[in-house]
Amino acid sequence: MVSSLEIDMDIFACQRKAQKDGAFDSATFVLNGPTGSLKCRWLDAYFGMFTVEGHEGFMMASDCEELPLTVSDYQASTTETA
């Protein structure tokens, strides 16, 4: 199942949505900030861990708490795609 949400939200709303959708380890989203956008994917939304496309390692949702960021183009995918 794939669902998409175009409404901007904060990283914590995105985290809750991925948990609710059962896509806690597969949902993708775009993180938007004053300097541009980053394509991201949840590694584990329960722990707040996500990856950023083109970067090594992971980030934590809590690292974004004080930053002026929004999330757009949320897509929950509960099945693996090739």
**Domain map (residue ranges) of the chain:** 2-77
- Structure-block tokens of residue 23: 């896509």
Q: Is the pTM of this model over 0.85?
A: no
Task: Per-residue pLDDT tens, the chain, 82 aa: give them.
Answer: 444 555 689 999 999 999 999 999 999 999 999 999 999 999 999 999 999 999 999 999 999 889 999 999 999 976 554 4
Cα–Cα–Cα angle for 32, 49, 81, nearest 5°?
80
What is the 8-class DSSP label of residue 62? Answer: G
pLDDT given for residue 8 in this prediction: 81
Residue whose token pair is 């496309």: 53
pLDDT given for residue 1 in this prediction: 44
